[in-house]
Structure 1
Amino acid sequence: MIDLHLHTDRCGHARGTMQQYIARARELGLIAIGFADHIPMYWLPPGQRDPELAMPQEQFGDYVREVLDWRDKCPDIRIYLGVEADFQAGYEDVLTGLIKTHPLDYVLGSIHFIDGWGFDNPALRDEYARHDPDELYESYFALVEQAVASGLFDSMAHVDLLKKFAFWPRRPLTHLYQRLAGLMAQADVCVELNTAGLRVPANEMYPAVELLRACFQHCVPVTLGSDAHAPEQVGWEFGRAINLLREVGYGEITYFVGRRRFCRRLP
């Protein structure tokens, strides 16, 4: 299998070196992996960027070179160069410039902030109590839709991350799911099945099964990622993920080389 969502200690809130992640992938028999450390917080002035949330600007080139070096050293396992990039409306040109600077294989898009609030940060969890659940989900998915429409991303990572702390809406989200799946199909953007949701209070993968089904109905391709923040999390619960993909109807997963899309049949 192919795990396209691995974070290393370069991103400031994960641990482990690339060598350790590669070793773990070999133990699991993965045929390929992709590193996707968090891109620098390009929308903030340098002095306001948190080194515990994303790599500093001056390390971005070193990150790229390190991935490419390990690719050359490890012919037995394919290693892809990716990044995870937060979408910030109004800064699309800045992100485009960063992306084009390096020979990336893929870019995972994500939303971690709503009006400056890092809603997936455990230290800021109390902020949820100040919001109406249904209104917050509407706001969140509106941002995801903007990210999809931007054309900047190959796949959308943990697309319903807002549920991380088991903060659930009161109303069904069917209308949001169907609208988002249709937009992803129209924009030709993949959805990521991310197993990290099984490690947090939500206790379910990203996205919700209903949203994953909507993506399949709209013929949205799917990528697979553990969102590993430690070497032992590589390939986390991929057996369950593959079973879910089959249950929904998917027969293959997507990966990227030089921003071009390829597919591999599920085992």
Structure 2
Amino acid sequence: MQDFHAHSNYSDGGFLEGMARSAESAGLEGIGFTDHCNVSPRERLETVRSVYGFNLDITYERRRRAIERLREETSLAIYDAVEMDYDPRDEPEIRAFLEEAAFDYALGSVHEIRGMNVQVASNFVELADDELDAIVEDYVETLVSLIESELFDVAAHVDLIARTSPLRGRATDDHYRRIASAFASSRTVPEINAGRALTDEEIVHPSERFLEVLREFDVPVTVGTDSHRPAEVGDRADFLREFVAEYGVDPVAPPGLERPKE
């Protein structure tokens, strides 16, 4: 069992060493640090980066040296990876950065639609039903674009809109099939994400129905706890162990780990 989606203090997570030690204590064989990164040249997102300090494009070499030191101190496999914000307008900048940085693998995420974070319910509570449906349609189109771009090894939390009450339940089987069809034709794979599985809402990405559609299309999946604190790693890893056993899923490694480095 390995965790291919975790965060450290190089974005919005706990200290790198503490996260690694927690993965080791949880009996994991490996952990991938996929700190947030946005390389959009657009002014608003540059401001957001400054405010939140998501500057892995500046600090990845320092984090890489820290990871190399941790590797010398443990038998745990530690992967040097990234979670990139995706917008189709930013593909040239994303591609250039990923080629330069040469991470072990890369996750891509759709966090924003029309300049609004899809995890923030207050962005959508005043919208009419047709407007909410349009947001969901835009989310699906952007996710399909992410998959088809093949910039990433993994598409993270592929139904992120399910976290947000005004958007939850608006995705249809047709949406799921469009996404699954894109995955079936791409090297990019989705993940089973446990980031909200142990909350009161018990949200697993993808949802049970979405996972069944992915299986209909014979789409492989990887796994990630999406942990941001050391205390989260063990419980979420245990959840994923039970989840994949219950659903008969045999997770794969991110495709980037299967390709030899050039």
TM-score range, shorter chain: 0.7 to 0.9
> Which residue type is aligned with residue 130 of structure 1?
E
> Which residue type is aligned with residue 221 of structure 1?
P
Distance change >3 Å, CA 4–CA 222, structure 1 → 2: same
Cross-structure match for 1:109:
108
Cross-structure match for 2:150:
151
Cross-structure match for 2:61:
61
Alignment partners' CA distance in 2, 1:9 and 1:172: 34
Cross-structure match for 1:130:
126
Residue pair 1:105, 1:256 contacting (<8 A) in 2 also: no
Q: Deviations over 1:17-67 (max 9, x none)?
A: 111011111111111110000124434348524242622542232223322
Alignment partners' CA distance in 2, 1:175 and 1:168: 16
1:91-102 alignment runs, 5 A limit: 91-102=90-101
Cross-structure match for 1:2:
2
Distance change >3 Å, CA 6–CA 155, structure 1 → 2: same
Aligned residues: 255
1:152-171 alignment runs, 5 A limit: 152-169=151-168
Cross-structure match for 1:240:
239
Offset of 1:204 from its aligned partner?
1.4
> Which residue type is aligned with residue 125 of structure 2?
A
Alignment partners' CA distance in 2, 1:189 and 1:19: 29
Distance change >3 Å, CA 172–CA 6, structure 1 → 2: closer
Q: Kindly, what percent of the aligned residue pairs are identical?
A: 25
Structure 1 portions without partners, runs of 5+: 263-267
Offset of 1:170 from its aligned partner?
5.8
Cross-structure match for 2:24:
26
Distance change >3 Å, CA 161–CA 63, structure 1 → 2: same
> Which residue type is aligned with residue 129 of structure 1?
V
Structure 2 portions without partners, runs of 5+: none
Q: Deviations over 1:194-223 (max 9, x none)?
A: 011225564211111111111122121111
TM-score by length of 2: 0.87
Residue pair 1:223, 1:255 contacting (<8 A) in 2 also: yes
Cross-structure match for 2:175:
176
Offset of 1:172 from its aligned partner?
5.9
Residue pair 2:155, 2:189 contacting (<8 A) in 1 also: yes
- The alignment partner of 1:83 has SS state of strand
Alignment partners' CA distance in 2, 1:39 and 1:204: 24
TM-score by length of 1: 0.86
Alignment partners' CA distance in 2, 1:120 and 1:33: 25
Residue pair 2:35, 2:56 contacting (<8 A) in 1 also: no
Alignment partners' CA distance in 2, 1:202 and 1:162: 13
Residue pair 1:104, 1:259 contacting (<8 A) in 2 also: no
Alignment partners' CA distance in 2, 1:8 and 1:170: 31
Cross-structure match for 1:265:
none
Alignment partners' CA distance in 1, 2:53 and 2:119: 11
